Structure 1
């Protein structure tokens, strides 16, 4: 299986300059490759392959000699990233690749090979840069693949190493109704389980929103290009980073707990991008970051041989009585509890939805009652 290990690195000033040189060169090659692909398609109705672009980089170095100071494997990694972006565009409809800007607060470049990791001395060696002080807080075993070095908006540097641990993906565990849990994600409560348990939504962004507004107003009053504006921008970035770290920590702990306690998890497919167009709820939906949580559940389920079951986004899980199947068409978002007119069962809106999600997912697997 492939797993990524992320470590913080502490470069010297000279190494930082080399990082920025790599960031700029890889960004330049990416934009150059994207321009070539667009022109080739417009003129010949054909796209230039990544391998052709890699051969053209040699000629590009003669024109721009400063590219020779950068690791050649990193430059080829830029064309690979572009190829991946086009694949997502055609297969997953993720949006046409955009040109990269040096104003982007997050910069990165990849090192496909020829790097070394020294756990004993807490150092990582990168080609053209040398040994860099690194906080190697955990060891890994396996074949080292691509390493990606990145810089955050707050000026911190990280290296993410992709490792093949040479282990086969675990066989999916058998599951039935007793070891399956339905999960309804929401805003008031972050997650509601089919067993009736509710996980509070910490709402980290809402907690820090007033402080964030203060820092943003301070930044807007500073003169553009000044050092004070840079300091104010860094303060805003630090708060955003803190919120992101809090959210990720919460989601990692919750997802690990749910994966460890159940053999299968039933989820509802949500159109998050469409829901974000609701201006009344967009802030709360973005704060919850449902897509990120589902992604964590999916890859952790693959690691531990668990199963993720999905139901369609148009199934009315909230409005159907989980006892008799009555469809309450008049239920609104304000109704948190309701009574079924047929069987007189009192329902908690979210718990009822979680139970229906579980039943619907198991029904598709022909596992109801097993």
Structure 2
């Protein structure tokens, strides 16, 4: 199994200049190759593209500076464009899982920059990493690499931070299991309600988000191309990085704990792209990172040989009593606590939904009839008739 290990490094002034040249050359090669692909009736082969945008381009006056950087990242840029086209066509045909992939786009000067080195373009020398035509850089080794890397990507983000991202081969680890299964209900005020009764709250991003919105209004009033506008853009990028790093740290720690302690993890398949169309909640939903959490849990489940289950988004998990299976119908979002009129059990809305997610995911329905079908509702909801709610216990 392949994994990425990322480390930050601080290049010298001379290395910054060389990296800026490298990023520019990689960007130009990508854009030239993409322009040729758009003009061609049939998609050219990678080898033909490399001859056009690298080998022959170096002999022209307008692109002779391509020879000042290593050839490996330039070739890899063309190969990455071929992968981007393959992902796009596979997504169109429905052969690719996950979110739809768009058509490849031209790269810009501003924002994130990257260049990838294959074997032959880099080497590990003790605590340092040698990059062809760049020199030796010393990353901050927060952890050791589990095996020899097959490639390394040099990244410069929008806030001018530099990273080395290694691709390595890892073996699935063996972790003792504490619980056989768990259900997780994701929300806004409570990020994750677990079927064990625990509630996990996400960090507050509101203060940083307000600062970003204020800086963005300031950016909109400044003259394009001015130094003050670039300074404000950099400040906004740093604030975005603070939110991203805080969220990433929280999601990694929570997903690690969930996957390490449970054999079966059940999540609801939320329609996040549809939910963010709600103008009142879109910003809050985007800040939470529900999709990122699901991707992390799914990937780490494969790594530790756990079973990940995403139940149907149409399952009425908030409309059914997790004790007796009595269906009381839809609830207003202001109702946070419910008393079941059938069995008398008192439920917290989020905890009840998490328990139902676990039951549907593991197939342990109330009437013990599990068919495994992908229909919109299962016997969890259909075993009883709908009913009214007599006593909402909280708001």
Q: TM-score, normalised by structure 2?
A: 0.83
Cα distance between partner residues in 2 of 1:360 and 1:116: 50
Does residue 139 in structure 1 map to residue 144 in structure 2? yes
Partner of 1:84: 83
- Retained in 1: the 8 A contact 2:4–2:167? yes
Cα distance between partner residues in 1 of 2:173 and 2:150: 21
Partner of 2:180: 179
Q: Once the 2 structures are TM-superposed, how far is the Cα of residue 259 of structure 1 from its aligned partner?
A: 1.4
Cα-to-partner distance string for 1:219-241 (whole Å, 9 max, x where unaligned): 44444333233222222221111
Task: Evaluate the alpha carbon distance shift between residue 85 and residue 173 of structure 1 in structure 2; reply closer, same or farther with a 3 A threshold.
Answer: farther
Q: Once the 2 structures are TM-superposed, how far is the Cα of residue 173 of structure 1 from its aligned partner?
A: 8.8
Cα distance between partner residues in 2 of 1:354 and 1:151: 40
Partner of 1:5: 5
Partner of 1:240: 240
Q: Which runs of 5+ in 1 are unaligned?
A: none
Cα distance between partner residues in 2 of 1:182 and 1:100: 41
Q: Which runs of 5+ in 2 are unaligned?
A: 92-99, 370-395
SS at match of 1:144: coil
Cα distance between partner residues in 2 of 1:66 and 1:25: 8
Q: Once the 2 structures are TM-superposed, how far is the Cα of residue 349 of structure 1 from its aligned partner?
A: 1.3
Cα distance between partner residues in 2 of 1:13 and 1:202: 36
Cα distance between partner residues in 1 of 2:173 and 2:200: 29
Q: Once the 2 structures are TM-superposed, how far is the Cα of residue 138 of structure 1 from its aligned partner?
A: 2.3
Does residue 112 in structure 1 map to residue 113 in structure 2? no
Deviates more, 1:67-76 or 1:320-329: 320-329
Q: Once the 2 structures are TM-superposed, how far is the Cα of residue 359 of structure 1 from its aligned partner?
A: 0.7
- Retained in 2: the 8 A contact 1:322–1:352? yes
Cα distance between partner residues in 2 of 1:344 and 1:22: 68
Partner of 2:97: none
Cα-to-partner distance string for 1:274-318 (whole Å, 9 max, x where unaligned): 111111111111110111111111222222222211211222212
SS at match of 1:263: strand
Alignment of 1:37-48 (within 5 A): 37-40=37-40, 43=41, 46-48=42-44
Partner of 1:152: 157
Partner of 1:62: 59
Q: Once the 2 structures are TM-superposed, how far is the Cα of residue 8 of structure 1 from its aligned partner?
A: 1.3
Cα distance between partner residues in 1 of 2:14 and 2:233: 24
Cα distance between partner residues in 1 of 2:326 and 2:36: 59
Deviates more, 1:179-188 or 1:12-21: 12-21
Alignment of 1:205-216 (within 5 A): 206-216=206-216
Cα-to-partner distance string for 1:151-179 (whole Å, 9 max, x where unaligned): 111111111011124x3x4689999xx51
Partner of 2:384: none
Cα distance between partner residues in 2 of 1:174 and 1:221: 56
- Retained in 1: the 8 A contact 2:175–2:260? no
- Retained in 1: the 8 A contact 2:185–2:268? yes
- Retained in 2: the 8 A contact 1:337–1:349? yes
Partner of 1:203: 204
Query: Bigger relative contact order, structure 1 or 2, given CA contacts below 8 A and separation 6+?
Result: 1
Partner of 1:343: 343
Deviates more, 1:292-301 or 1:279-288: 292-301
Q: Would you tell me which structure has more helix in proportion to its own residues?
A: 1
Cα distance between partner residues in 2 of 1:210 and 1:351: 31
SS at match of 2:278: coil
Q: How many residues align?
A: 355
RMSD: 2.4
- Retained in 2: the 8 A contact 1:107–1:152? yes
Deviates more, 1:338-347 or 1:87-96: 338-347
- Retained in 1: the 8 A contact 2:268–2:310? yes
SS at match of 2:151: strand
Cα distance between partner residues in 2 of 1:79 and 1:328: 57
Cα distance between partner residues in 2 of 1:296 and 1:172: 17
Alignment of 1:154-173 (within 5 A): 154-165=159-170, 167=171, 169=172
Q: TM-score, normalised by structure 1?
A: 0.88
Does residue 266 in structure 1 map to residue 272 in structure 2? no
